[in-house]
Amino acid sequence: MPTSDLSPKRVNVKPGARPPVAAAVDKQGAAAPAGCGGVMKLLEVYSCSSLSGSRQDTFTVVTTVDDDVLHGTFTQVSNGENLDYAGAQVYDADGNYLCYFGTYPGTCQLGAAGTYTVLVALSWGVGDVAYTFAVQSRKTPAACRTLGNGFFSFASGGRAGDLVKGSAGDCYKFDQPAGTVLQMWPTNSTGDVRGEILDGSFQPVCPIRDAYQCTLTSPGPYHVMTYEGYGSAATYTLRMARITQSVGCPVLRPVPFGDPGSGAGTGSLAGQGTVACHKLRTPATGGVLVRIDEDQSIWWTVFDDAGRQVCDKHSNSWSCNLPAAGAYTVITSNQDWNSITYAIAVTALYRSAGCSTRTSLGWDQAASLLTATSGVQANCQQFRGTAGQRVVVYSSPITYNMVFTMLVDSTGQALCIVHSEETGCALPANGTYRAVSLLDRVPTESSYKVQVRSLTSPSGCPVVGVGAFNAPPAGAAGPIRCRTLRVTEAGILQIRLYDAENYRKYAAVYDRTGHRICNDSSYCEFTAAGDYTVVIDGQSPPVIDNDFVYVTSVLPARPAGCPVLSQELYKGAFTDPGQYFCVQLAQPAGARVAELVPADQLYPFTYVVDSAGNYLCDSTYQLRQTSCELTGTAPFFAILSEQEEQAPAPFAARFVRVDGPPSCPALDGTAVTTTADEFVVCRSIPADGHGATEAFSWRRVSGTGGAHLSVFDASGIRYCGPTGTYTERTATCRLPAGPLTVLLNAAGADATYELSHQAAGTS
């Protein structure tokens, strides 16, 4: 309901207030021009072509009831170039100044029945204006037209009105039972026509200007007073219909699931603020789904036959619970500027008609393929559930669209519609439930997939145990969205899933009750042994059907069974997607290491952990761009996995200590050689063997491949590189004081390079 007060502004002044222009002493003289004074008739518009100087025009108004309210409209236009102003001052029979009518329509509270005097004068006693003045009585209005019962039908077009310039407004009267709820329409005026409904005591009940619902809270008979907000001429339409025991609305009846066909209704809305109605007749209580196509700009509300709101689009977009069998009214309103023609259907969620009744909650079943042929269609899959069972619904369109789903009980009550941190919906009791689904839009016949699955004691999930490093994944490639993970002892596991191209899929982990214990399975703590459920994208709505095949890697967070690397070089071969290798590093705590692989090969992803499995660094930055400090407790482990979209292949990696006194031969300018295994050349420069800026040059003189260069100080900080890979290059580096280690990282091929350095700028 509008919060703004659309009543004409009250223009009464405070008792004892001084009028802006003192009343002039009455002098005998010429009669005032026509329209510039006299005894006023209600609703008659008095037009005065000129009021100038200190002249005052006198009007009298006679009221026949005590405490009447005078509605007045005063308009004015300056006759000269200056903006001159006039006003109408109201006095009672004792000469008390009561009210002042100025530029806009207003209301004046009167006292005892009798004669009141109105003086019209220029505000400063100078200038020249033309004005109009008209009044209407609130308690004894003139020319009130009666609004019969037919006016309150939704099929009625309303009552047309035509206000002339300066009009004090129109009056209408009607009678309806107190408590009646009315649907109001905008006045659709050519100006700013507004008004109000007055009850039997002539007190305002509801404003008139916008589309909303008005409740007649106090008894009638009722009057409607309309006026133009600026006193201008305007046409308008007064329209209001009774929602309480509404008439004139096309009938809708609850339809079964599926295409409603002829059971759907239609409606048209001309523009913003317009409304339409549908009479819903239901044979039973329970939840229903109100669907409108297209509904982006349409608001809907359902009322019972007494006019009480039952539900609306915002609060009950899924399930509208009808408390009793009988008649209801559905009101639609347009929130857009453009006209809309729409279809509407009300689906009976409280019954199973049209619902598929052979829905399995097993994870090994293929997703259900559903089809929509109507924009107001809702589909349904029925199943039996038990109290506390947690059920999740996944859905995906076949072509670009959006799918909406919900669970309802046997009465059609929507379940779990409030946001929860849990996945799925815990069923409240043993019984029959329905998974309801619908498409956002259906321009043509459209299909989509739905999976209804139980997270509680799930069935159909292949079993997988804890695997080992340096071996194929524990769970072989296969379909089905879930895996039953058999955990033999408490601890932290890393569970990762990969498709055939080694792309990782994220998963969530659930206990047997369906409670989610890990959002990301890649680091999940298990407090007890037992069976758990791993679900790909468990918290995401899209379907992952049985045509998707993946492997499941299950490894302890604390590495085990990793061979000890007695030298820098570690070689292996990836044979399966999702495979992880690990090796125990020889370097002690506090050392800094860098990982180097052949310059012509793609790095495997590598990360380093301490003896407890705590993460230290990885190959996205420290291992390959700076250096990795081995903090924590030794021994330390490097864990390697294949890059995404890479076919299984051999790999080679060197884990080189880069801190401490350099132990490599001196960089003396002699040629260096590389091979498939010896692809890293290490050379040292003493503290007095370099300046603050040095130019390092390398050139391949035989063999194949290229190389890149890095320079480290004695603390293991990389001050230069890694550069790009080239067959010939000079790199200028700013260097710290002290001894340096230089690493030339070449391709895994036989080659010979010239490697040298000199002070920068030396030719």
pLDDT digits (tens, 9 = 90+) for 35-45: 899 999 999 99
Please, which pLDDT band fits residue 763 given cuts at 50, 70 and 90?
A: low
Provide the CB-side half-sphere exposure for 162 (13 A, CA). Answer: 0
- C-alpha separations of 220 from 105, 175, 177, 438 in Å: 25, 6, 8, 47
Please, which pLDDT band fits residue 5 given cuts at 50, 70 and 90?
A: low
Q: Do the Cβ atoms of 482 and 508 come closer than 8 Å? A: no
Q: Looking at the predicted structure, is the pLDDT value of residue 9 above 60?
A: yes
Q: Looking at the predicted structure, is the pLDDT value of residue 24 above 80?
A: no
DSSP state of 350: T
What is the SS3 assignment for 261?
Answer: helix
DSSP per-residue codes, 14-48 = PTTPPPSSPPPPP---PPPPTTSSEEPPTTPPEEE
What does the pLDDT average to over 199-203? 96
What does the pLDDT average to over 396-419? 94
Q: Which are the contacts of 252, defined by CB distance < 8 A and separation ≥ 6?
A: 265, 278, 279, 280, 281, 330, 344, 345, 346
Provide the CB-side half-sphere exposure for 749 (13 A, CA). Answer: 14
pLDDT digits (tens, 9 = 90+) for 320-332: 999 999 999 999 9
What does the pLDDT average to over 735-746? 96
Please, which pLDDT band fits residue 4 given cuts at 50, 70 and 90?
A: low
What does the pLDDT average to over 277-306? 95
Share of the chain above pLDDT 90, in %: 85
Residue 715, Cα to own-chain centre: how many angstroms?
52
Between CA 498 and CA 144 the distance in angstroms is 80
At residue 7, the pLDDT reads 66
Q: Looking at the predicted structure, is the pLDDT value of residue 724 above 90?
A: yes
Please, which pLDDT band fits residue 1 given cuts at 50, 70 and 90?
A: very low
- C-alpha separations of 554 from 144, 456, 485, 647 in Å: 85, 22, 9, 21
Q: What angle do CA 134, 140, 146 make, to 5 degrees?
A: 95
- Residue 356 backbone zone (phi > 0: left; psi -120 to 50: alpha; other: beta): beta
Q: Looking at the predicted structure, is the pLDDT value of residue 395 above 60?
A: yes
Mean pLDDT, all residues of the chain: 93
Q: Do the Cβ atoms of 319 and 407 come closer than 8 Å? A: no
Q: Looking at the predicted structure, is the pLDDT value of residue 30 above 60?
A: no
pLDDT digits (tens, 9 = 90+) for 704-713: 999 999 999 9
Between CA 48 and CA 133 the distance in angstroms is 9
At residue 31, the pLDDT reads 59
Q: Looking at the predicted structure, is the pLDDT value of residue 747 above 90?
A: yes
At residue 316, the pLDDT reads 85
Q: Do the Cβ atoms of 464 and 555 come closer than 8 Å? A: no
Q: Looking at the predicted structure, is the pLDDT value of residue 651 above 90?
A: yes
Domains identified in the chain and CATH numbers:
9-137 (2.60.120.380), 146-242 (2.60.120.380), 251-348 (2.60.120.380), 368-454 (2.60.120.380), 466-532 (no CATH), 569-657 (2.60.120), 672-759 (2.60.120.380)
Q: Looking at the predicted structure, is the pLDDT value of residue 140 above 50?
A: yes
Other CB atoms within a 10 A radius of the CB of residue 66 amount to 11
Between CA 343 and CA 292 the distance in angstroms is 6
Please, which pLDDT band fits residue 308 given cuts at 50, 70 and 90?
A: very high
Between CA 650 and CA 643 the distance in angstroms is 12
Q: Do the Cβ atoms of 452 and 391 come closer than 8 Å? A: yes
- For the entire predicted model, the pTM comes to 0.81
What does the pLDDT average to over 174-178? 97
Q: Which are the contacts of 604, defined by CB distance < 8 A and separation ≥ 6?
A: 574, 597, 619, 640, 641, 642, 643, 651, 653
Q: Looking at the predicted structure, is the pLDDT value of residue 269 above 50?
A: yes
Between CA 672 and CA 654 the distance in angstroms is 18
Q: Which are the contacts of 339, defined by CB distance < 8 A and separation ≥ 6?
A: 268, 269, 270, 271
What does the pLDDT average to over 562-590? 94
DSSP state of 262: G
Q: Which residue bears the tokens 């420069």? A: 685
Please, which pLDDT band fits residue 444 given cuts at 50, 70 and 90?
A: confident
Share of the chain above pLDDT 70, in %: 97
Q: Do the Cβ atoms of 126 and 79 come closer than 8 Å? A: no
What does the pLDDT average to over 248-273? 95
Residue 23, Cα to own-chain centre: how many angstroms?
64
pLDDT digits (tens, 9 = 90+) for 223-244: 999 999 999 999 999 999 999 9
Q: Looking at the predicted structure, is the pLDDT value of residue 8 above 90?
A: no
pLDDT digits (tens, 9 = 90+) for 653-690: 999 999 998 889 999 999 999 999 999 999 999 999 99
pLDDT digits (tens, 9 = 90+) for 68-109: 999 999 999 999 887 889 999 999 999 999 999 998 899 999
What does the pLDDT average to over 1-21? 67
Do the strands 482-487 and 463-464 form a parallel or antiparallel pair, or are they unpaired? Answer: parallel
Q: Looking at the predicted structure, is the pLDDT value of residue 25 above 80?
A: no
